[in-house]
């Protein structure tokens, strides 16, 4: 059993099982090791920032943890249960129900309104139209988008669009939210606001958050920071 290499376990680590764990994760692209044996535990409700130089394997780790990419070896556990060997359909369902995603930008459905975009995971989960839209509207209100629910993504600013994406990631009450460079296309101020909105909303909901970012300043605002270098977790570098 590999030991946890980060020094500062999450605040709840002692009391509960991790929400999500990676054990000995290896991901290769040809001869290139994008991940060369990564172990990581994410506690329920914990926010983790993953930082590291470009090409170090941050995105790969996120995708492997979320079951978007299969690992070449190693295990992924969701609340103690292995999920890496599940079939495509099952993994897809897990992503739909247990996880939420915030991407860099442009990943909202252009033809749908902000409200409908946010309601999409609920609709896919079988929630009725009225209920799903009402829930989505609530989330948009909480994220400061009251009155903008009918707008299309093209009619929103970059920061607003990202907040819609956050609402979409949270609407179905997932246990883990994955965000890959959620502020990458935003200016510093908006980026900080968006990050705060994401962290705040996730905390309120008790969802764990895994955020990949280039921006060290932004990462500082996240309780726990994990640094990756050459596909490995760099020891001795910790967040606050």
Partner 1 sequence: MNSFRLALRVLRGDRRTRTSAILTGLGVAVATGLVLLLVSLPFATEARGERSTWQEPSYGSGEDGPATLSLASSEDYTGGDKITRVDVAPLTDPGSIALPPGVGKLPAPGEVLLSPELARLADGMPGSQLGERFGGDVVGTLGEDALKFPGQLVALVGHDADDMPVTAFQQNGFALGGAEQDPLLQLLAGVGVVVLIVPSLVLVASSARLIAARRERRLAALRLAGATPRQVISMVSAETAIAAVGGALLGAAASPLLHKLATFVPWDGGTWQASDFQLPLGVAIPVVLLMPALVLLAAVLGLRRVMWTPLGATGSHERKPLHWWRLLSLPLAGLFFAVVVSTAEDEMGMMLVLLGLALIVASAALVGPWVTSAIGGIFGRIWRRPSVLLAGRRLRDDPKGAYRASAGVVLAVFTGSMALTLMPSFESMAGSSSPFRDSVLYVPTDAARAERIVAETNATLERYGQRERAIGVGEVVLAKGENSGQQALVLDCERAEGLLRLDMAGACAGTPGVYSEYPMELNGVTVSAEWGTQGVPLPADTPVRPFEVTGEDMYSTAIIDPAVLPEGVSPSEVTVAVPTTQANREVVRTALAAAAGGAQIESREMRIWDQQTQLSDLRRVTVIGLVAAAVLSGCSAAIATAGSVMDRRRTFGALIAAGTPVRVLARALRTEAAMPALVATIGAGVVGVLVAIGLYSLVEEESSVVLTPWIAAPVVLGAGVAVLAASVCRPALNRVRAEPLADE
Ligand X SMILES: Nc1ncnc2c1ncn2[C@@H]1O[C@H](COP(=O)(O)OP(=O)(O)OP(=O)(O)O)[C@@H](O)[C@H]1O
59 binding ligand X? (CB under 6 A): yes
34 binding ligand X? (CB under 6 A): yes
Residue whose CB is less far from partner 1, 46 or 116: 116
- Nearest-CB residue to Mg ion? 59
* Residue choice 4, 5, 59, 97 for contact with Mg ion (CB under 5 A): 59
96 binding partner 1? (CB under 8 A): yes
- Nearest-CB residue to ligand X? 59
224 binding partner 1? (CB under 8 A): no
Binding mask 58-77 toward partner 1 (x if CB under 8 A, else -) reads: -----x--x-x---------
Q: Least separation, in Å, of the C-beta of 102 and Mg ion?
A: 14
* Part in contact with ligand X (CB under 6 A); list of ranges 49-57, 128-136, 140-148, 199-207: 49-57
58 binding ligand X? (CB under 6 A): yes
From the list partner 1, Mg ion, ligand X, none, pick the one residue 44 interacts with, judged by a Cβ distance below 5 to 8 Å according to partner type.
none
| In contact, 94 and 86? CB cutoff 8 Å | yes
* Total residues binding Mg ion (CB under 5 A): 1
Q: With helix as H, strand as E and coil as C, how does the chain read?
A: CCCCCCCCCCCCCCCCCCCEEEEEEEEEECCEEEEEEEEEEECCCCEEEEECCCCCCHHHHHHHHHCCCCCCEEEEEECCEECCCCCHHHHHHHHHHCEEEECCCCCCCCCCCHHHHHHHHHHHCCCCHHHHHHHHHHHHHHCCCCCCCCCCHHHCCHHHHHHHHHHHHHCCCCCEEEEECCCCCCCHHHHHHHHHHHHHHHHHHCCEEEEECCCHHHHHCCCEEEEEECCEECCCCCCC
From the list Mg ion, ligand X, partner 1, none, pick the one residue 29 interacts with, judged by a Cβ distance below 5 to 8 Å according to partner type.
ligand X
Residue 192: closest CA among 169, 165, 218: 218
185 binding partner 1? (CB under 8 A): no
The interface with partner 1 within residues 124-163 (CB under 8 A) comprises 124, 129, 152-154
54 binding ligand X? (CB under 6 A): yes
Q: What is each CA distance from 202 to 174, 185, 211, 223, 231, in whole angstroms?
A: 9, 21, 12, 13, 27
Footprint of Mg ion (CB under 5 A): 59
Footprint of partner 1 (CB under 8 A): 63, 66, 68, 88-89, 92-97, 99-101, 103, 106-112, 116, 120-121, 123-124, 129, 152-154, 168-169
């Amino acid at each position: 059993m590999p030991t946890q290499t980060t020094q500062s376990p999450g605040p709840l680590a002692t009391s509960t099982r991790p929400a999500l764990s990676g054990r000995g994760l290896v991901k290769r692209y040809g001869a290139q090791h994008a991940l060369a044996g990564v172990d990581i535990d994410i506690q329920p409700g914990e926010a983790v920032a993953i930082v590291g130089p470009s090409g170090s394997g941050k995105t790969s780790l996120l995708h492997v943890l979320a079951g978007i990419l299969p690992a070449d070896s190693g295990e992924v556990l969701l609340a103690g249960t292995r999920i890496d060997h599940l079939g495509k359909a099952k993994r897809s369902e897990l992503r739909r129900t247990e996880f939420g995603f915030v991407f860099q930008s442009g990943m909202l459905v252009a033809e749908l309104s902000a409200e409908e975009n946010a309601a999409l995971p609920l609709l896919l989960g079988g929630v009725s139209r009225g209920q799903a839209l009402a829930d989505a509207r609530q989330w948009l209100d909480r994220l400061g988008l009251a009155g903008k629910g009918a707008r299309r993504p093209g009619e929103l600013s970059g920061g607003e669009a990202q907040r819609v994406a956050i609402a979409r990631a949270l609407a179905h009450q997932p246990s883990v939210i994955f965000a890959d460079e959620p502020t990458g296309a935003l200016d510093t101020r908006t980026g900080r606001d968006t990050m705060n909105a994401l962290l705040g909303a996730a905390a309120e909901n008790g969802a764990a958050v895994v955020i990949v970012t280039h921006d060290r300043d932004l990462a500082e605002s996240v309780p726990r920071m994990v640094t990756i270098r050459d596909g490995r977790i760099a020891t001795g570098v910790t967040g606050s």
